[in-house]
Amino acid sequence: MNRFHLLAVLISTYAVLTYAQPSYWIALNYKVTFSSDGSALVEAMLHPFSLDGNSLFGDARVERDLNASVRGIANYTLLMFSDNLKLLSYSLLSYEKRLHETVMCDVANTGVMSSFKGAYVLSTLVYLNTSNYVRKLNATLYEVKVRDSFTSMDVRSWIDVIHFCFKNVRLREFRWEPPFARGPKSAEDGCMLWENYNEQEAPDFYVFILEAPSFEYVGEPPEISAVISNIEYGYNRFTVTVKNTGLTSGYAYVRVVSNSSEQARKIYLSARASREVTFPNIAGEVFIIELYSGSELLDNRTFTTYHGDVVEPSDTVKPPDTSDKQQSTMPSVTVILIVTFIAVILIILVLTVFFKKSRQQSQENYSTDVYLK
């Protein structure tokens, strides 16, 4: 049962929720339909009932309270898909009373679901390409997270039943967080159904890997423009300086990745301000340092370290420096060249003498032959 601790008169006054005894409960079911264009039709279905489990659907006083709380319910719905509602695109489609809709919850906390006929339904179209709970994996594959925003706001609240459907979208994988929470009751015909009997069993996040070829991912726009202005390295420790080059303030993320470790920091930068970020105990040989704001990569650097304490910018791994070895081998190379030169000179001299003597001997033999005749 969703412990939607709302006073009948003060249903949207959050400050009172903790201290006031509610005069009725609200069973809360959701249906989320993912479409191939990257949108999600989200239907929040509510059914009020008294503390002794009797339906209050159609009660005029309760209906007035619910009508006054539509904006609050809408905010809870949007928080299922993003923690930054300023960046999330959506359309509030309708708020209606459906007589033939069925809403379920565990009224008496006995592990048995009860059904109520009729529901107050708020329909919202959420554009997932502006959600920071969506991560692009490749050209057609996306990870989509849906949060139980009620549990995150009040541990005594949770979504009783949530129904996921996939319209022209292929579900490749799914999981839930934390893993010890209850899994889906059913998964068939392109739909999945979760029934949650208490907060401990209700997942905090429902995670889906979806294949949607026509989904055009926008992502979260950057809050600021910034660059990496300086990097220092020593004793397995990076210090990165980030400079806000724009006139607006906002958040950025600095990420350092090596072949053996990864660290990230979120920082706030005022307009034109700079800030140092330190990454201790980070080891490796080749490092990639990235600067993000929103989903956009603003700047990046690649570094290669030598002997653990020297760092140089590089796009590729630089070969070890061998200048000392080259200097140490110079004398031996010079000696070899000198010896070779002398040997060549000697060979030339020997050949010269040899050919000279051969010619003289030939002349003597020629003279002798003429004399004998």
> pLDDT tens digit string along 279-293?
998 878 889 999 998
Which domains occur in the chain, in start order? Answer: 14-211 (no CATH), 226-323 (2.60.40.10)
* pLDDT the model gives residue 129: 87
| Most confident among 137-141, 163-167, 317-321 (mean pLDDT) | 163-167
Which residue has 């201290």 as its token pair? 19
Residue 6 or residue 249, greater confidence: 249
- pTM exceeds 0.75, yes or no: no
Residue 367 or residue 54, greater confidence: 54
> pLDDT tens digit string along 91-124?
999 999 999 999 999 998 899 999 999 999 999 9
State yes or no: pLDDT of 155 exceeds 60: yes
* pLDDT the model gives residue 41: 97
Residues 6+ apart with CB under 8 A from 272: 244, 245, 246, 247
Please give the order of strands across the beta sheet that includes 226-233.
226-233, 238-244, 274-279
**Structure-block tokens of residue 94:** 């309708």
pLDDT, the chain, mean = 81
Least confident of 84-88, 199-203, 205-209, 268-272: 84-88
DSSP letter assigned to residue 178: S
State yes or no: pLDDT of 56 exceeds 60: yes
Q: Choose among 15, 22, 127: nearest CA to 72.
A: 15
| Most confident among 245-254, 324-333, 342-351 (mean pLDDT) | 245-254
